Structure 1
Amino acid sequence: MPVPAQNQQYENFIIRYKQNTHGGFDYESDETFQIVNDLFGILYVPMQEVPELELSSYSYSSIPRCYTYMDTGALSTSGVTRLHNHPYLKLQGKGTLVAVIDSGIDYLHPAFHNGVQSKIFSIWDQTLEGGADGRIPFGREFGRQQIEQALASENPWEIVPSSDTNGHGTRSAATAAGYRIEKDNFCGAAPEAEIVIVKLKQAKNYLRDFYLLPRDIDIFQEDDIMLAISYVLFIAQEQQMPLSICIGLGTSMGAHQGEGPLNEYINSIAAFTQNAVSVPAGNEGTARHHYLREFGPNDTEDTVELRVGDRESTRGFMTEFWGDSPGSYYMTIQSPTGEKLSVSTALKNRTQELSFVFVETKVLVNYVPIERRTGNTLIFIRFQHPASGIWKFLVEEKIPGKSRFHIWLPVRGMISDETYFLQSSPDYTVTAPGDTEDAMTVTAYQHRDNSLFIQAGRGYNAENIVKPDFAAPGVGILTASIGPGEEFAPATGTSLAAAQTAGIAALLFEWALVRGNEPYFTGNSVKHYLSRGAVREAGEVYPNPDWGYGRVDLYHTFELLT
């Protein structure tokens, strides 16, 4: 039987296990409780022992959020090639570790081995059956020796049965740290860096059902990503190597203020020596999944129009309303037939069920007047088998004055393109964990003409922290490909821009830490060095919500150092 972390009959809860009213306890990890770091832990509870999953002020951040992929000749533009070939610097990432937390890796791809030796230090595959062994809490781990045995075997999958069926993780790893392959005109940003891989397991079905997410697409849950970070930190500390982490995933869940357990964890590690985290800005800029309205003293009512497509009717979808504190918000939901039902502001810790007469749709609503982590009003709405057509949210602010609210739909892939706001806003569409303050949040641009990737998420975050931080090539860049056909092919997305930045961070770590030029270099140091060296267009104001501080140019960063 699978361990609780992998068992569909267990629910997962992220808890701050050192914040309790009973004083300190000596906690140890076991099958039902897994420590992530000195603050967060994951509790696994049998489903039959948990009441129906409810969302309230105290539980919002404990229910894992769900994430998916952020992507649908570049190194020269980023100034990387000049540093690879510089007569004195010759930075290639030697002595550093690049971690890719994603869909796994095709370890047989030539971008990761020379026929005998592999550049992959280890793989933790969360999807395979296995229990805790002192290094990993579940799944199976494969070290370089096993990987190289597999490379030499006629049947490598018998030795290392870990694969990447999607290809997203393989593309990211190759972009960040793939070997130089002259015949294909390919090179990763840090070709001499070693790689550590975590293949994330799929989100559990109970979470997909709770959030009304599809069963047939790759979706990953927050606590598994946190455990993946904990693992790669352990490897880096064990090997005493600088670590650059790439997480090419995103979600629109949350208040977009950089809050939440995963965001807090990333902030905590980026401030320490030897760790950097690169994340994508997401591809939600043109998705029409965000609505924004600002109220003034004499303007306290608004009508939000949401088009719901036919494809949502079989399962449904969710959306989140976040009203800035200290406002007080009231909502009425109107069906396409004109029927109106009000959301109660009194049922604070209970799920309200709104049943419409003229459409066979149930709307489940949780009204949280003051969400615990942000202080904002959260209205969490789930449409079950929604009728297609124009749904309306009638919103009223009861405290006259300046205030603002946002509504976000799930990211592309989690909802069909047929469902969108009629009057959407492209701003504040950077996905989490891209809204994390200390992460390096990277948007994508077309390096051939320096144009911004049209689908890229736009900043800032909802607390007006500058996001994205900068841009890197991410449109039509050559990277590893899996499956039949060519070994390398063009790909696009902000995930690839983040992956290239993860490799660039490894080059900076080589210069600063491996070579001893800046012995206390942190992830924040990397971010600020790259921000300062970014290329900016004349006539533009920087930072800005589209480009952040400009286009990454590592060579220019080193020119400023001199």
Structure 2
Amino acid sequence: MENKFISENYFDLLIPNVSVGTLNPNIVVTRVNNTYSIFHLPYEDINRCDFSGIGYNNIPKCFILESTFVLEATGVKRVQSNPNLALMGTGVLIGIIDSGINYLHPAFLFNDNTSRITSIWDQTVNPTDPPATDQEEFPYGTIYTKEDINRALEQPYPLEVVPTDDPIGHGTAIAGIAGGSADRANDFSGVAPLAEFVIVKLKQAKNITKDFLSIPSDVICYQETDVMMGAKYVEKVAQQLNRPLALCIALGSNQGSHDGLGALSSYLNDLSELPKTCVTISAGNQGNTRRHYSRMIRSVEEYIEVEFNVAVNDKKFFIEIWTEPILRISLDIISPSGERIENLTPRFGETTLYTFVFEPTKLCVKNVPTVPITGDQLIWIRFEDAQSGLWRFRIHNIDRANAEVNAWLPAGSTITNDTYFIQSDTYTTITTPGDVVSPITISSYDTLTGGISVFSSKGYTRVSEIKPDLVAPGTELTAPGSTNGYVNVSGTGAAAAVNTGIVALLFEWA
């Protein structure tokens, strides 16, 4: 039977558990937590433009990695060396949901060369005859126990026994910064060098998910559904071992309402309120990318104009425009060649598909009047075969009401740096799920200059919640690499890893 979690024929959707009873009883759903479940819809049944009745919140977001290829500044070394404290993270579990881990690296071994990793769920390894362990709760990928990993470490070719690795290196770096073993020869130590790890290696987002979201197929990103399943696994392991859990999420997305109310955001919020559990999330690296636009439209203004440049290589992408309160709008769209769409007035809930005459661009405009949970209005604009150059949107205020308009382009490598808003706003650039209330959201500062890192996203959230909560070193940190050496990494993901290690020390002390 085809595994729908990995099949490119089925689109993964998030649905509230209260809606499960309304589905056909023959449809199989996988419960994630007390609020959400995942079910799978044949992709051939979906219209990419109007969603075919799918709600915006049912669509999984795609998350990008938030670090790219120090302890004195945080005071950690004083805590480690103080004989009355000597905190190293002993007894604490660090959870990493990311691109995997190089479990062979000395940074993840005890002095006796046994592994500090309690288990790895590799979502990418799908053997023909998968082991029965947890297969009902986690119906794809392969789970490797501590015993499996230690047995592999005794073999001359360990990857033949436990075939999981991290060719990207991001997850390895994040885990190493948070809790890598001390290596005096290379002047390296993680923040909590005696903590243990539970690792989830995320599978890449399905090509059909990327296609639906107009993301190029070669972009590295991860589905919200898989991240949520990863959080479920980490939570379960921590409960089974009865260990305090410091969970690090070094991922982010510009999709969503930026108010902390998405499916993954809600789940991480709930986890943060459990005893002995703390979630740290990176704030994002969108501070200097020019991918956020913000403007108040006044009742006396007929329209506002949004200008943005599209790079030659960015042929498909989307823009999300969020308004509060709900507005009736009319759009004028002016292409780089001067071709105009005037008085485009999508009614509430309506989708409009427009093809230009003198250039290949296709536009899909969907007006969602009230997105579930947030209650706010979303105007979703999808570009296909986008013409490069300067585009202009005029948003006409039909109701002549005072309203706030926020727009976001996709984050990270989803598009190139040459696609951006002309009058961009560096504030309200915290990526989802870093905009959620209860977890700790971490931005980055540069220990060399003493200032906030130029790439670091800034608050507030779209609903004026104070985020980020703290800053941590996030520029040019030493971390374990995907081979047995060390690399330098920067980003709010690296800063979040520092904070995750500090949380592990606090848990040990408590």
Q: With structure 1 as the length reference, what TM-score do the two structures score?
A: 0.86
Residue 449 of structure 2 corresponds to which residue in structure 1? 449
For residues 6 and 32 of structure 1, do their structure 2 counterparts lie closer, same or farther at Cα, with a shift above 3 Å needed?
Answer: farther
2:497 to 496, 499, 517: 499
1:435-514 alignment, distance < 5 Å: 435-483=435-483, 487-512=485-510
Q: Does 1:39 align with 2:35?
A: yes
CA contact (8 A) 1:57 1:371 kept: no
SS in 1 for 2:313: helix
Amino acid at match of 2:456: A
Q: Does 1:4 align with 2:35?
A: no
Q: Does 1:245 align with 2:243?
A: no
Counterparts of 1:80 and 1:288, CA distance in 2: 35
Q: Does 1:61 align with 2:57?
A: yes
State the Cα distance separating 1:121 from its structure 2 match: 0.5
State the Cα distance separating 1:397 from its structure 2 match: 2.0
More moved, 392-401 vs 131-140: 131-140
Q: Does 1:106 align with 2:108?
A: no
For residues 404 and 350 of structure 1, do their structure 2 counterparts lie closer, same or farther at Cα, with a shift above 3 Å needed?
Answer: closer
Amino acid at match of 1:32: V
Counterparts of 1:201 and 1:399, CA distance in 2: 46
Residue 156 of structure 1 corresponds to which residue in structure 2? 158
Counterparts of 1:53 and 1:397, CA distance in 2: 24
SS in 2 for 1:431: coil
State the Cα distance separating 1:210 from its structure 2 match: 1.1
Counterparts of 1:137 and 1:450, CA distance in 2: 47
1:246-395 alignment, distance < 5 Å: 246-313=248-315, 316-342=316-342, 344-395=344-395
SS in 1 for 2:288: coil
Counterparts of 1:117 and 1:225, CA distance in 2: 28
What are the superposed Cα offsets for residues 182-201 of structure 1, whole Å, 9 maximum, x if unpaired?
11111111111110100000
More moved, 86-95 vs 49-58: 49-58
Residue 236 of structure 1 corresponds to which residue in structure 2? 238
State the Cα distance separating 1:135 from its structure 2 match: 5.4
Residue 229 of structure 2 corresponds to which residue in structure 1? 227
What are the superposed Cα offsets for residues 50-90 of structure 1, whole Å, 9 maximum, x if unpaired?
55573489610101010011122x11111111111112111
2:220 to 211, 218, 221: 218
Tell me the percent identity: 36
SS in 2 for 1:396: strand
Counterparts of 1:452 and 1:509, CA distance in 2: 27
Residue 81 of structure 2 corresponds to which residue in structure 1? 85
Counterparts of 1:425 and 1:46, CA distance in 2: 39
Residue 207 of structure 1 corresponds to which residue in structure 2? 209
Counterparts of 1:155 and 1:299, CA distance in 2: 69
Counterparts of 2:167 and 2:193, CA distance in 1: 24
State how many pairs are aligned.
502
CA contact (8 A) 1:345 1:369 kept: no
Counterparts of 1:310 and 1:53, CA distance in 2: 23
SS in 1 for 2:152: helix
State the Cα distance separating 1:21 from its structure 2 match: 7.8
Amino acid at match of 1:127: T
More moved, 125-134 vs 177-186: 125-134
Residue 531 of structure 1 corresponds to which residue in structure 2? none
Counterparts of 2:51 and 2:17, CA distance in 1: 19
Amino acid at match of 2:496: A
Q: Does 1:129 align with 2:126?
A: yes
State the Cα distance separating 1:19 from its structure 2 match: 4.5
SS in 2 for 1:44: strand
Counterparts of 1:351 and 1:297, CA distance in 2: 26
More moved, 123-132 vs 62-71: 123-132
Counterparts of 1:504 and 1:18, CA distance in 2: 38
State the Cα distance separating 1:402 from its structure 2 match: 3.0
Counterparts of 1:6 and 1:117, CA distance in 2: 32
Residue 554 of structure 1 corresponds to which residue in structure 2? none
CA contact (8 A) 1:4 1:31 kept: no
CA contact (8 A) 2:332 2:344 kept: no
CA contact (8 A) 2:289 2:417 kept: yes
Counterparts of 1:56 and 1:82, CA distance in 2: 58
Q: Does 1:141 align with 2:143?
A: yes
CA contact (8 A) 1:226 1:262 kept: yes
For residues 211 and 354 of structure 1, do their structure 2 counterparts lie closer, same or farther at Cα, with a shift above 3 Å needed?
Answer: same
Residue 542 of structure 1 corresponds to which residue in structure 2? none
State the Cα distance separating 1:346 from its structure 2 match: 4.6
Q: With structure 2 as the length reference, what TM-score do the two structures score?
A: 0.94
CA contact (8 A) 1:175 1:189 kept: yes
Counterparts of 1:312 and 1:58, CA distance in 2: 26
Amino acid at match of 2:43: M
CA contact (8 A) 1:222 1:262 kept: yes
For residues 20 and 125 of structure 1, do their structure 2 counterparts lie closer, same or farther at Cα, with a shift above 3 Å needed?
Answer: closer
Counterparts of 1:217 and 1:412, CA distance in 2: 9
Residue 116 of structure 1 corresponds to which residue in structure 2? 113
CA contact (8 A) 1:71 1:494 kept: yes
State the Cα distance separating 1:143 from its structure 2 match: 0.8
For residues 7 and 317 of structure 1, do their structure 2 counterparts lie closer, same or farther at Cα, with a shift above 3 Å needed?
Answer: same
State the Cα distance separating 1:373 from its structure 2 match: 2.3
State the Cα distance separating 1:296 from its structure 2 match: 2.6
CA contact (8 A) 2:326 2:369 kept: no
SS in 1 for 2:247: strand
What are the superposed Cα offsets for residues 322-352 of structure 1, whole Å, 9 maximum, x if unpaired?
1111443332211112222247545544532
Q: Does 1:416 align with 2:393?
A: no
Counterparts of 1:433 and 1:271, CA distance in 2: 16
Amino acid at match of 1:329: I
What are the superposed Cα offsets for residues 136-187 of structure 1, whole Å, 9 maximum, x if unpaired?
3211000111111111111111110001010000000000111111111111
State the Cα distance separating 1:417 from its structure 2 match: 1.2
CA contact (8 A) 1:115 1:151 kept: no
For residues 460 and 55 of structure 1, do their structure 2 counterparts lie closer, same or farther at Cα, with a shift above 3 Å needed?
Answer: farther
For residues 77 and 186 of structure 1, do their structure 2 counterparts lie closer, same or farther at Cα, with a shift above 3 Å needed?
Answer: same
Amino acid at match of 1:393: F
Amino acid at match of 2:486: F
Please provide the CA RMSD for this pair: 2.0
CA contact (8 A) 2:346 2:366 kept: no
Amino acid at match of 1:475: T
Counterparts of 1:478 and 1:50, CA distance in 2: 45
